[in-house]
A and B are shown apart, each in its own frame.
Chain A
Amino acid sequence: MKKIDDLAKSDIHMKILAFFHENQASIDTPRGVATWIREDRAKVKRALEDLVSLKVLVAHRATSTTGYGYTSSNTIISKVGRLLGKRKTS
């Protein structure tokens, strides 16, 4: 996945985006996010890393775990907002 717009094709990526867009102050582990969006943990972990590479999410890495949080870039936040809005209306 190279662009944020391409994320619309993936359900799991969109669910993660919706979760972080709605809970912008949240930091959670793959296990936590998987619980909130009711998806498989391994798939969520891969999707989270995809989103980190697109700079939509920030990874806080420690030896025991990684916490993922939403980007601070207003440009990316608005882009994601538009993408989620489109998905809702379609």
Chain B
Amino acid sequence: MAEEIKEGEYRQELFERLKKSISLKKEEECFGVCIKPALWWIIDRPHPKEIDLERAIYPNCPHLKKSRSSRRKRCLGDLASAVKNATSTKAVAKFECGEGLHGFVYPIFQGEKLYGYIGACYAKREISPSILNIFAAFTDTIIKEIQKELELSKLYETIRPRAIALSTVHTVHRLISSTLDLNELLPRIARLSLQIMRANRCSIKLVDSTRRVLLPKVTIDLRKKTTKLKKVRVGRYAPGKAVKFGRPIRGANYISVPLIDEDVIGVVTLYDKIDTKPFSAFDQEIMATLAEQAVIAIKNAQLYKEQEKLTMGSIRSLATILDSRAPGTFVPRASFLKIVIAMGQELRMDNGELKSLEYAALLHDAGQIALPDEVLSKPDKLTGAEYDMVKAHPAHSVEIIRHMKALKTVIPIILYHHENYDGSGYPKHLKKEQIPLGARIMAIIDAFEAMITKRPYREPKSIDAAIEEIRHNAGTQFDPKIVDLFLKVMKRRDIRQTLERELYEKNR
């Protein structure tokens, strides 16, 4: 039945194009000169009845219009036998109508399939076989051209949806592989899954380390503003079963697809299609493709996170070693990290920039390891030579970290964190915006740290006194805009409380 419909559509399209064909019109004009005055007609069905022939010819044939029905019938009978002849011989067939006029019928075949006829009549002279042969050859070429066009457009119709689907897969791949932050990645995968599957709710759960429970990571419901995150035991409900059996589980209004790397690492579940139709096998296939891409992106993000943890661990260890060189001094590292991150967030820095600030906060004085103990713990004023040694510590810090690729972006922050806004700092006497933004932030943090912690040569200042000193030096030592930012951050109760707790409880 479907084949018949397709066949019918094909025939209709073929004749529509044939009737509009400029080449055919030109051919008719050309042959019209030879066999004038000719009347052209097209019949868009095989084995036509007389009534079809009459319909095709009657409106344009002056004889038929004025003929009595008996003469008209005879004329149509002549035409019908020519059609029959053309069909059986698969070649152009000549005829002479009852009015003594001449014509021919050309059958339109594709292989063994007959589609219809092109014909001409009302010629006063008999049409020569050579003209008919040329006509047949030309017409054949025109029809083959149209048939090729049709095949191409059919092919385009088949390929286009697949090409669009492929482009979607490619776009999704680009979107999910452009982040290594799991907190950003998982909601993105959920939203893209909803978009592609045209569903209302998506939930992503990851398998925990015991492999017994699925930890909910993200749930997005387009119908609700808030959603609950629920743990699920492996083996229970659709997500649990998908993980347990390592294959998609599909119901009318849900589909759970496992995220499989070497082992199952999680599951994506979609619920309720927006058109309320059930999830299909095609949906399952699409979702499986998306899950394959998602699992690569998730694994990459997890590896990156591990790598970051390792880097952070090494940096913290290094910072601890450095702190141990001045045993009487306690540095409230956690608070400083919090302050520096808060300042970076206020400046809308991205994750990479925030990480650089964090690393710089831990390592900005790493170069002090090169200072002799007597300089580091000298209670009196430093001599010129000793001060020169101190001034070299940013360069020493850079020397220590420059082999770590992950810290490449930290180098300018550390190298220039002793530059002053008015150009009076060191090592390069940079001014204002010449000083990298991170270094302008770190300058304040370093000075604040120096003031509120105990040093061999003086007692610590109070937090408020240190803040006041920072404010006082805005525009000279520090960038006034960054000072404003620092003051804003220091007004935050959580930050102030963390700092006080860390600083005073440790010193108590």
Known: A60-B192, A74-B274. A28 touches B174 (CB 8 A): no
Q: Which residues of B contact A90 (CB under 8 A)?
A: none
A6-65 residues with Cβ-Cβ distance < 8 A to B are: 23-29, 32, 36, 58, 60, 62-65
With an 8 Å Cβ cutoff, the count of chain A residues facing the other chain is 20
| CB-based nearest A residue for B170 | A32
Give the residues in chain B near A72, CB-CB below 8 Å: 194-195, 198, 200, 222, 274
CB < 8 Å: which of B188, B197, B198, B200 contacts A62? B188
- A62–B167 contact, CB under 8 A? no
Residue of A nearest to B184 (CB): A62
- Interface contact A26-B200, CB-CB below 8 Å: no
Q: Does chain B have a CB within 8 A of A67?
A: yes
Q: How many residues of B contact A (CB 8 A)?
A: 24
B461 to A: closest C-beta gap in Å: 42
Check if B168 sits within 8 Å of A25, measured CB to CB.
Answer: yes
User: Could you tell me if A27 and B179 are in contact, using CB atoms closer than 8 angstroms?
Assistant: no
Chain A nearest CB: distance from B287 CB in Å? 11
Question: What are the residues of chain A within 8 A of B222 when measuring CB–CB?
Answer: 72
Q: Which of B164, B174, B275 contacts A65 (CB 8 A)?
A: B174
Provide the residues of chain B in CB contact with A32, threshold 8 Å.
167, 171
B175 proximal to A (CB < 8 A): yes
- CA–CA, A72 to B188, complex, Å? 16
Chain A residues whose C-beta falls within 8 Å of the C-beta of B196 in the assembled complex: 25, 27, 69
Q: Among the listed A23, A28, A63, A67, which residue makes an inter-chain contact with B161, where contact means beta carbons less than 8 Å apart?
A: A23
Chain B binding surface SS class: helix
Q: Of B168, B178, B275, which one neighbours A27 at CB under 8 angstroms? A: B168
- Complex-state Cα separation, A32 to B167, whole angstroms: 7
CB nearest to B200 among chain A residues: A72
B178 touches A62 (CB 8 A): yes
- Contacts A60-B192, A60-B195, A64-B178: A27 and B171 contacting too (C-beta < 8 A)? yes
The reply to whether B171 and A65 form a contact with Cβ atoms under 8 Å apart is yes
B274 touches A27 (CB 8 A): no
- A29 CA to B175 CA in the complex, in Å? 10
Complex: how many Å from CA A28 to CA B167? 7
Q: Is B172's beta carbon under 8 Å from chain A? A: yes
Q: How far is the CA of A23 from the CA of B274 in the complex (A)?
A: 15
User: Is B191 an interface residue, CB under 8 A from the partner?
Assistant: yes
Whole-angstrom distance between the Cβ of A35 and the nearest chain B Cβ = 8
Residue of B nearest to A66 (CB): B175
Q: A72-B198, A72-B200, A72-B222 are in contact. Are A60 and B175 (CB under 8 A)?
A: yes
Q: Could you tell me if B178 and A26 are in contact, using CB atoms closer than 8 angstroms?
A: no
B471 → chain A, closest Cβ, in Å?
37
Contacts of A25 in B (CB 8 A): 165, 168, 195-198, 286
> Once bound together, how far apart are the Cα atoms of A62 and B195, in whole Å?
15
Residue of B nearest to A33 (CB): B167
Known contacts A72-B194, A72-B222, A74-B274: does B168 contact A26 (CB below 8 Å)? yes
Residues from chain A with a CB closer than 8 A to the CB of B197 are 25
CA distance A10 to B36 in the complex (A): 50
Complex interface: chain B residues within 8 A of A64 (CB): 174, 178
CB–CB A67/B172 < 8 A: yes
CB contacts under 8 Å to A, within B179-202, are 179, 188, 191-192, 194-198, 200
Using an 8 Å CB-CB cutoff, how does the interface string of B198-214 with A read, 1 for contact, 0 for none? 10100000000000000
Collect the chain A residues with CB atoms within 8 Å of residue B194's CB.
72
Nearest A residue (CB) for B222: A72
Nearest chain A CB to B284 CB, angstrom units? 14
Asked whether A60 lies within 8 Å of B188 as measured between CB atoms, the reply is yes
Which residues on the A side are within 8 Å of B275 (C-beta)? Answer: 74
Q: A60-B191, A72-B200 are in contact. Are A67 and B167 (CB under 8 A)?
A: no
Knowing A72-B198, A72-B222, A74-B274, say if A28 contacts B171 (CB, 8 Å).
yes
List residues of A whose CB falls within 8 A of some B CB: 23-29, 32, 36, 58, 60, 62-65, 67, 69-70, 72, 74
Query: Residues of B at under 8 Å CB distance from A?
Result: 161, 164-165, 167-168, 171-172, 174-175, 178-179, 188, 191-192, 194-198, 200, 222, 274-275, 286
Sample of 22 A–B contacts (CB below 8 Å): A23-B161, A23-B164, A24-B198, A25-B168, A25-B195, A26-B167, A27-B168, A27-B171, A27-B172, A27-B195, A27-B196, A28-B164, A28-B167, A29-B171, A60-B175, A60-B188, A62-B188, A64-B174, A64-B178, A65-B178, A67-B175, A72-B198
Please name 11 further chain A to chain B contacts, defined as beta carbons within 8 Å, in addition to the given A27-B192, A65-B178, sorted by A numbering: A25-B195, A25-B198, A25-B286, A27-B171, A27-B172, A28-B167, A28-B171, A58-B195, A62-B174, A62-B175, A72-B222
